[in-house]
Structure 1
Amino acid sequence: MHLPRQHALLILRQSLQQKLRHLLRTLRSDDITELVPATVKDRDRTLLGLPATLGGIGLSSHRETAPLAYQAATALATKVLAPIVDLLEEDSVDHTSQRELCREAAQIKQTELLASLHFRDRMSILESSSQLGRKWLLAVPTAPRFTIPDPSIQANLCYRTLASGYAGKCRKCAQPNTLGHDEWCTGRKDYRTSWHEAVKHHLAAGLRSIPSAKVVVEPFIDRRASRKNDIKVVIDDGLDRPVVMEENDLKVVSLFAPTHQASLRSNGRTTEEKDEVRRLERERKFAEDMEKRMLRVLAQQARRKVTRLPEGREEERAPFCPLVISTGGYQDEETRDKLREWKNWKMPGVSYTWMLTSVSVALAKARGRSFLGAINR
């Protein structure tokens, strides 16, 4: 039976891997290393085993989790038996839960992985670990907006395992086909508009689920200007008196583009910023360092949205908030806070989850179009 890759990935992550881990307790396992292909690199195994929240696939290893589970179970048993068994010393046992032990072990693995990676690969790991960068992994294909075609599953798994599709030069522009090159390659079809439109309509659909909300897609900025923003939302109090009025303009940014890469690699302008970069590198806080760099670039794009608004009377406009998301799902701080604020506007919890999942799936689909475009032609 042929399963779509989205179905197969869901079954593997949510069912099979949980059951297969228990087979090692009953089956002969001394020859298991011989069954693993020699071509599987240590880095790939690390990426497969890392949780999705840290940028991996989430296929945890029994060999790594079993000792932690045993340690947590021993500590719990000691805590229960200590009051009735005199020889047991409860104070000498670490009572950290299995969840915490596994989280600490995974964070150590991520730090070691980031230390061995190039700059561009570190950025991809952080994108994959973001909320919108990982939501598609749990999307159940019950509707078209949650369904991801096989090529897009393949493309996004390549991004999560830091593979560029094929080695060598790009077949469209003759430049090195590095990770993320497909998103800005001048020789391939430009999918930026479809990226933008899909995300915009899913955000608007989420806002429409708010009671008493009136959502307009692409409203004119003011009466005299021909320019439009992407979304305008007005929420009234039931008596046609607006309680909330706001306009948003969306920008989907590829952080792999050369211009953004140059900004990301900059260590800052002030002495304080450069000292902070050196401190993070010295303390091996690679994830925190990369996060600050990415937020800085996305914040620059948000400021440009604000400064490029046409001049006019402020009283004629609704309050404005830019929404900036990377192609991998990373959001700037203002966008992250704004999406949380929408939930506080009495957006139903199911609608909020569907909105985030729909946006994540839309980004995953778009990556599939550009990633495999030069391979299949």
Structure 2
Amino acid sequence: MKKTLSFADSEITEALRSRLFYPVKPPSLPCSSCGAIVAFQHEDTCKGAARRWIARHDTVVRAFYRALASEPTLEVQKEPLVDKATSLRADIAVTIGNSRYFYDIQIVAIAKDSARSDPYETLREAAEEKRRKYRALGAFFQPIIISSGGLMELETAKTYPTEGPIGGRSPLEAQHQQAIAPIVEKGSIKKLLTFSKVPIPEKKLYARHARAFAIAASKAAEAFCKKPTEKALLSFLLLPRVLGLGLQKGANIPTLEDLETFLGQQKPPTLQKNPPKVANPAQRAVKLLERGFLGRASRTLIDPVPIAPNTEANRAILLEKHPIGPEKPFQRKTYPRPGQPVTEATVVKAITSIGKEKAPGLSGWTRPLLDLVIRGDSPEWPLKDLQLEGLPVLGTYIGPIAGRRSFLAGKLATLEGALTALKDLPKQHSLLLLRGSIQLLLRHLQRQLCPIGLDDLGSPPTAPIAIEGPTAKEVLIEANKARLETFLQDLPTLYQQARLENASYLGRKWLGVLPMKKTLSFADSEITEALRSRLFYPVKPPSLPCSSCGAIVAFQHEDTCKGAARRWIARHDTVVRAFYRALASEPTLEVQKEPLVDKATSLRADIAVTIGNSRYFYDIQIVAIAKDSARSDPYETLREAAEEKRRKYRALGAFFQPIIISSGGLMELETAKTYRKLQDLVGPVAAAQLDSSIALALTRTRAISAASISKEAPRGIASSLWNPSRRDP
């Protein structure tokens, strides 16, 4: 960036030589300057070489002087007189308050003949020699000892660059308060600070709350863009806190709809927080998991390091790592030219670069809340187009071999041109570009681009040495595929049906649900039963009769046992309620529960949805595909249930659609198409909540039925297998 910060090519070459442990000359040749044998780092001690040791010392002293003199609160002097009788001088003196501190700098060659084998010992001896020389100064003197390669003596490392007198400043807290005092006196900042006591919503919002929040944020942002005043900006910044306040009071949506009036009438809240309790790693992981931070929860268990307390010692460490800059870094008035206008796409791109787990600022805008506001439609490409034409995305290419070959050839040509261009650049610039950019681009290609059919592009074509055999990975894939086919052929019908349910869209959804609310949490016994079903274990040994109905306990008997603790009606009502809430969250839809279909027979459907001028009816049924009358093909069983529903509601014609789901989550084929259309209709947030609610209702009902059948098992044995620290009551 400056001429003083640039290296000559020969200097870069010598610096890299030293890092790669290459001597200046072969060890068998004598030094042409002093005649001695050329050992490694001989250049640091050779008396006949072009030595610039005095210039090096003066440059380092000048660097310290400029750094210290840039701080207006410090009084700095070069070469201060220490002893008038002997004319002894130090390199630098710094006056802080009523105290004056002296520093003397020395560059030491740790490869000299008299050096110790431990370089820190060599540097320590040099520091002791300095202290003896300036012993008259006592505690007001500090030597700065650095090796010719940059290694600092231990006490020097503590002194450099901020700790102790050399970086001494007024207390951090006082400086902070002094800097922000004029700012916090503003009325808008006072209001922002007062509202900061309101807790930010950390758990996932209901779809209707999320939609209301997004609409309110859009209105607040639009008001600020039309008239960018401090008041309009404050309304936008306070929105997350207002959301938290509305959720606490149970009046969230009215509060958000009338945001400006609410802020004008609302007295600043004075919520008192309880003192934080110290939690163990497991408790912290649970809390993080309930907030949706899966990665942070995992790291808490792997590396259970607690948050550092706010102590003076820790603040001093932070100050050393992040020193306070000068009070007025820009002394001159500058008149920069206006840059490019900031577009909406640029702002959205900047927001998406923020980490999802990053803590919010004073306003409370977390990344999940920002995502609710900036979420737009993602670009979509038909699979047919991807298979035929391909798509370049994220620095790689998805598609056929011809497209990938063309993409890779172009990338390689570009990178080869860049590598060729590096030869004409100064070596410092070449090294920076090679390490910081080009090699990363090449590595990304190797990691992400499918290599099949591209072998000849990655290396010069050569004749094969021998016929290539399959790789170990390919052999294992084929072997596992054959084992799976053999296993499936011998699998009983009930187990094949269970496998279809476990692999279905809703059947596997419960595995990924985060326990962010009580309604999204499983008891240990429910998890045990759900895993038992996935592992093809019956509730009881097949040789024993059911203790509830007396029948032989076949696999998935809990779905059909009439004596078990059945919650089939509650399960049906829960699923209906989930559909109703998801559809009602969309303001353009008019939704009704249990609409009347036939007044004469009092026939009702579960849900009716009005879209435009059309009204559609839906009736939901949960089917046990393991029942005695079921077909061997579960899709056939579900299709028969759907046909029965259509006959029942045949008066509605095309305006009726049955929703048929098995007790394990497998959807009838037409139901799956209808379900996808409803997901598109309500949006991604409501669709995700609908998936979770249905999956949890199905899994929980089956688990409760299974637990009631196996109630004769010893208490707590199931949970003890999975979690020894917890027991069922």
Identical columns (%): 22
- The answer to whether the Cα contact below 8 Å between 2:565 and 2:704 also exists between their aligned partners in 1 is no
Query: Where in structure 2 are the equivalents of 1:285-364 lying within 5 Å?
Result: 293-309=633-649, 319-345=655-681, 347-364=682-699
Cα distance in structure 1, aligned partners of 2:600 and 2:619:
18
Query: Per the alignment, do residues 103 and 342 of structure 1 end up closer, same or farther by CA in structure 2, a change over 3 Å counting?
Result: farther
The answer to whether the Cα contact below 8 Å between 1:208 and 1:215 also exists between their aligned partners in 2 is yes
Query: Where do 1:44-59 residues align within 5 Å?
Result: none
2:577 maps to which residue? Answer: 201
Structure 1 position 134, deviation (Å): 0.3
Counterparts in 2 of 1:108-127, with a 5 A limit? 108-127=482-501
Q: Do structure 1's residue 177 and structure 2's residue 553 form an aligned pair?
A: yes
**Aligned letter for 2:694?**
V
- Cα drift, residue 146 of structure 1: 2.3
Please report how far the alpha carbon of residue 166 of structure 1 lies from its aligned counterpart in structure 2 after TM superposition: 2.2
Report the counterpart of residue 586 of structure 2 in structure 1: 210
Q: Distance in 2 between matches of 1:234 and 1:180?
A: 39
Q: Pick from 706, 712, 715 the counterpart of residue 371 of structure 1.
A: 706
1:154 corresponding residue in structure 2: 528
Query: Residue deviations 1:295-333, cap 9 Å, x none?
Result: 1111100111111237x6x5xx88110110000100101
Q: Secondary structure at the match of 1:133?
A: coil
Three-state SS of the structure 2 residue aligned to 1:232 is strand
Alpha-carbon distance between aligned partners in 2 of 1:154 and 1:186, rounded to the nearest angstrom:
22
Q: Mind listing any 5+ residue stretches in structure 2 that lack a counterpart?
A: 1-281, 303-447, 713-729
8 Å Cα contact 1:149-1:365 kept in structure 2? no
Kept in 2: contact 1:81–1:88 (CA 8 A): no
TM value normalised by structure 2:
0.34
How far residue 115 of structure 1 moved from its aligned partner, in angstroms, is: 1.6
Q: 2:510 aligns with which of 136, 156, 167?
A: 136
Q: Which runs of 5+ in 1 are unaligned?
A: 20-71, 237-241, 265-292
Matched, 1:254 2:628: no
Deviation at 1:126, TM superposition (A): 0.9
Displacement of 1:94: 7.6
Tell me whether 220-229 or 193-202 shows the greater mean CA deviation: 220-229
Change (3 A) 1:126 1:74: closer
What amino acid does structure 2 have at the position aligned with 1:112?
Answer: T
Higher gyration radius (CA) = 2
Q: Which shows bigger deviation, 293-302 or 142-151?
A: 142-151
Higher share in helix: 1
| Contact 1:247–1:319 under 8 Å retained in 2 | yes
Alpha-carbon distance, 1:78 to partner: 8.4
For the aligned residue pairs, the C-alpha RMSD in angstroms reads 3.8
Match of 2:117 in 1: none
**3-state SS in 2 of match to 1:323:** strand
CA contact (8 A) 2:649 2:656 kept: no
Distance of aligned partners of 1:227 and 1:76 in 2 relative to their CA distance in 1, 3 Å threshold: closer
Q: Distance in 1 between matches of 2:462 and 2:499?
A: 49
Secondary structure (helix, strand or coil) at the match of 2:667 reads coil
**How big is the shift at 1:221?**
1.1
**What CA distance in whole angstroms lies between the structure 1 residues aligned with 2:705 and 2:538?**
12
Amino acid at match of 1:152: E
- SS in structure 2 opposite 1:131? coil
Larger relative CO (CA 8 A, sep 6+): 1 or 2? 1
In 2, distance between residues paired with 1:108 and 1:366? 36
CA contact (8 A) 1:229 1:249 kept: yes
Deviations, residues 18-57 of structure 1 (Å, cap 9, x unaligned): x9xxxxxxxxxxxxxxxxxxxxxxxxxxxxxxxxxxxxxx
1:265-284 deviations in whole A, cap 9, x for unaligned?
xxxxxxxxxxxxxxxxxxxx
Distance in structure 2 (CA, Å) of the matches to 1:108 and 1:209 = 48
